[in-house]
Amino acid sequence: MINIVLADDHHIVRQGLRRLLEMEQDLTVVAEAGNGIDAVHIVEELQPDILIVDMEMPGLHGLVVTQLVRQRVPKTQVVVLSMHADEGYVLEALRHGALGYVLKDADAGDLLAAIHHAVLGRRYLSEPLSERAIDAYTRSTQASTTDIHDTLTMREQEVMQLTAEGLTAAEVGERLSISPRTVEKHRANLMRKLGLSNQASLIRYVMERTQLLTTKAPDDSEANQKEKYESLFPDHT
């Protein structure tokens, strides 16, 4: 039996996925999560075979969830659900440790195939993406052990941090002695590398990056970890 945790912020989506998966004799959904923080905690506790996670999750972005799960519970493989068919998003999911990437408008068979591939340690991507994206991934990185943040240039990291602090392109440019147009170019490059779509997602990434670097050690108490999460994400408590 393949044990699965579902992580999606829409209850109706989780219900539909549960019904679909439990029609299969070898699949069982052992738990659900409505945000990224809960998803990580549940996976740590239950250690399922598979985590199915929506890329756009509240609390923690789906890619951060993927990276945390792969670091903390190596036996759990991750299948990402996404609306993004762009190759850049697929590559970021693979770099963060996902074995499966399934488009939300794909056939049910795609998701089932991704699960069965992932549980065997094999990659599976929705049909339009598969060969080209895997080839690009193989060329560009050794595996998910590479932190994608390390691919950013020093200037891109500076622009990212100042943008996350709420500065406009003009203000960032003034601070770094570069033009606003150059700021926008750096911002576009770093967002492409990180698979982010807008400034709000960039700000959230910086917050999650901070959380990822300061998240609990194995002997931290749950109460202390909850306090850390609540201080970083007050809207999700």
Residues 121 and 166 in one domain: no
Whether 82 shows a pLDDT value over 60: the answer reads yes
Q: Are 65 and 96 in contact (CB under 8 A)?
A: no
Positive/negative CA dihedral, 194, 198, 204, 207? positive
Among 136, 189, 151, 149, residue whose Cα is nearest residue 63: 149
Of 140, 169, 192, the last residue of a domain is 140
Residues 125 and 51 in one domain: yes
Model pLDDT, residue 134:
61
Q: Domain range spanning residue 7?
A: 2-140
Q: pTM of the predicted model, to two decimals? A: 0.62
Residues 55 and 96 in one domain: yes
Residue 163: CB atoms within 10 A of its CB come to 22
Whether 3 shows a pLDDT value over 90: the answer reads yes
Model pLDDT, residue 183:
93
Q: Are 148 and 172 in contact (CB under 8 A)?
A: no
Model pLDDT, residue 144:
46
Residues 155 and 225 in one domain: yes
Residues 152 and 94 in one domain: no
